[in-house]
């Protein structure tokens, strides 16, 4: 009983000493920007987070939520705007939440991302190395080669296509998205209008009824080949022959049309069954000197222009020679494995997803690469088998893990193997520096290079290079 009473007393004490009140207005100076692009202010030392505010601005805010350690506010009036503020050409970015930095000039967003990574380094690592400048895009618009458009019903029960509102599954109709490929929008809108004109029912997420759930497109940026995937809650798509005929006449570079079956009540977009309605079920694209086959289920970087730069940075910093054995852990469909194969003696790619390994082997075959071996399985187990059973010792380990980063077993395995270099590519700077901290007693962290894979969003990729201490 006393624990409950203690919590109440503690809460009352916190409220009595709180300098910031909910639903009250304040005038604040924005002293920094957080990793999500939000502005940061202080009131008597108490931290306030304000979306769409920029460092250097003076603004009037309304406090909307107060917690024990921080609060959240929203902008009422911009009293003194930043020189980096610009009017966005997108009318929906605040609602969809995708481009959280869309109100900031592009070059300034690169600095925000660099500073965010630097802040994590300063807080976490013993080596307070200077994070390099973020590598940006020359043309940071319409860069995505993959688009996913949900289809559903609006509040009035009418069919709608667009993007999900931030942290909800409400579909926001959208005319133009400035980060999606323009042809993706054209194809998606054409299919949607076809559905409406032929009175084909769309999916209702609340009831689980209706047919068409998503339209997904994939585009080869260098080949200009297009794949279209129609995701349905059933087996049959009415008038599909007519639709295929119209699409292939309208879009001459449409190489593959696929019907994907997803009847589960899930947030996962694609189901497990794909039926080819037109073409051979895949497209191809070129990355660097290599051709890659892309299927409906394949993971392929959504910004190939920046991905090529990122992989070239990783390969360059790895400084691979012709006698080196390289392990590419979390290799996906083998993109960076093939990049490294030109310089290494052997490359071993490891990935837990069976389909990805099949694709990696096929991509190696397409490109006549013979010094790669791809293994499907849990990275930790495969790494242990390669080193301790097969006695294959890597000179270099390349890492590109999921957002959660490495688990402790992987960290320990890397420490035991102790390759002369580790190149760590990460889509999450927080887990990157966490993992680097566990390795810096035996490795010198030589550099961290952010690469802007997703302009105007809060996301940033990083390439970190670690060199074994006392390595000759």
Give the integer Cα–Cα distance in Å for 186 and 194: 12
* Contact between 396 and 421 (Cβ < 8 Å): yes
Residue at token pair 């890397």: 414
Give the integer Cα–Cα distance in Å for 458 and 440: 27
How many degrees, rounded to 5, is the angle at CA 398 between CA 396 and CA 400?
Answer: 170
Using only the alpha carbons of the chain, give its radius of gyration: 25
* Contact between 103 and 86 (Cβ < 8 Å): yes
Determine which helix (DSSP H) or strand (DSSP E) holds 94, and give its type and residue range: helix 93-96
Number of residues in the chain = 472
The bridge status of strand 32-33 relative to strand 39-43 is antiparallel
Q: C-alpha distances in angstroms, 190 versus 185, 226, 241, 248, 450?
A: 8, 15, 15, 12, 38
* Contact between 164 and 172 (Cβ < 8 Å): yes
* Contact between 74 and 54 (Cβ < 8 Å): no
Q: C-alpha distances in angstroms, 68 versus 50, 73, 210?
A: 17, 15, 45
**Active-site residue, 427 included:** yes
Catalytic residue (choose from 96, 99, 177, 427):
427
Catalytic positions:
427
């Amino acid at each position: 009983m006393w624990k409950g009473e203690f919590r109440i007393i503690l809460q009352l004490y916190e409220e009595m000493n709180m300098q910031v009140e909910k639903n009250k207005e304040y005038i604040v100076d924005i002293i920094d920007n957080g990793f999500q692009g939000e502005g940061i202010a202080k009131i008597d030392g108490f931290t306030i987070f304000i979306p769409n505010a920029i460092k250097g601005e003076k603004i009037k805010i309304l406090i909307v939520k107060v917690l024990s350690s921080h609060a959240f506010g929203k902008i009422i009036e911009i009293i003194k705007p930043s020189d980096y503020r610009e009017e966005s050409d997108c009318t929906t970015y605040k609602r969809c939440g995708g481009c959280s930095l869309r109100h900031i000039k592009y070059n300034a967003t690169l600095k925000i991302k660099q500073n965010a990574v630097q802040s994590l380094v300063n807080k976490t690592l013993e080596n307070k190395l200077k994070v390099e400048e973020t590598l940006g895009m020359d043309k940071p618009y319409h860069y995505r080669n993959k688009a996913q458009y949900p289809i559903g019903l609006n509040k009035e029960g009418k069919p709608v296509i667009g993007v999900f509102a931030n942290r909800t599954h409400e579909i926001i109709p959208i005319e133009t998205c400035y980060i999606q490929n323009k042809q993706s929008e054209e194809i998606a809108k054409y299919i949607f209008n076809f559905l409406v004109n032929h009175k084909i029912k769309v999916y209702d997420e609340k009831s689980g009824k209706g047919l068409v759930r998503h339209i997904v497109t994939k585009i080869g940026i260098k080949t200009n080949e297009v794949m279209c995937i129609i995701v349905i809650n059933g087996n049959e798509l009415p008038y599909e022959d007519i639709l295929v005929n119209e699409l292939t006449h309208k879009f001459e570079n449409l190489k593959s049309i696929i019907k994907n079956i997803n009847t589960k009540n899930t947030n996962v977009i694609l189901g497990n069954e794909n039926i080819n309605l037109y073409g051979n079920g895949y497209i191809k694209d070129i990355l660097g000197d290599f051709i890659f086959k892309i299927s409906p289920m394949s993971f392929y970087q959504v910004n190939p222009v920046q991905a090529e730069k990122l992989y070239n940075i990783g390969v360059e910093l790895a400084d691979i020679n012709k006698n080196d054995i390289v392990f590419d852990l979390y290799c996906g469909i083998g993109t960076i494995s093939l990049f490294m194969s030109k310089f290494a003696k052997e490359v071993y790619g490891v990935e837990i997803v069976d389909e990805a390994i099949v694709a990696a082997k096929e991509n190696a075959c397409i490109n006549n690469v013979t010094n790669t071996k791809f293994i499907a399985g849990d990275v930790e187990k495969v790494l242990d088998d390669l080193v301790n059973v097969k006695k294959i010792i890597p000179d270099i380990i390349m890492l590109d893990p999921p957002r959660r980063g490495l688990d402790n077993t992987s960290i320990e395995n890397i420490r035991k193997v102790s390759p002369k270099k580790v190149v760590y590519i990460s889509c999450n700077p927080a887990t990157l520096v966490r993992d680097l901290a566990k390795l810096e007693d035996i490795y010198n962290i030589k550099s961290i290079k952010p690469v802007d894979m997703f302009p105007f969003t809060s996301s940033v990729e990083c390439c970190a290079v670690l060199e074994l201490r006392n390595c000759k």
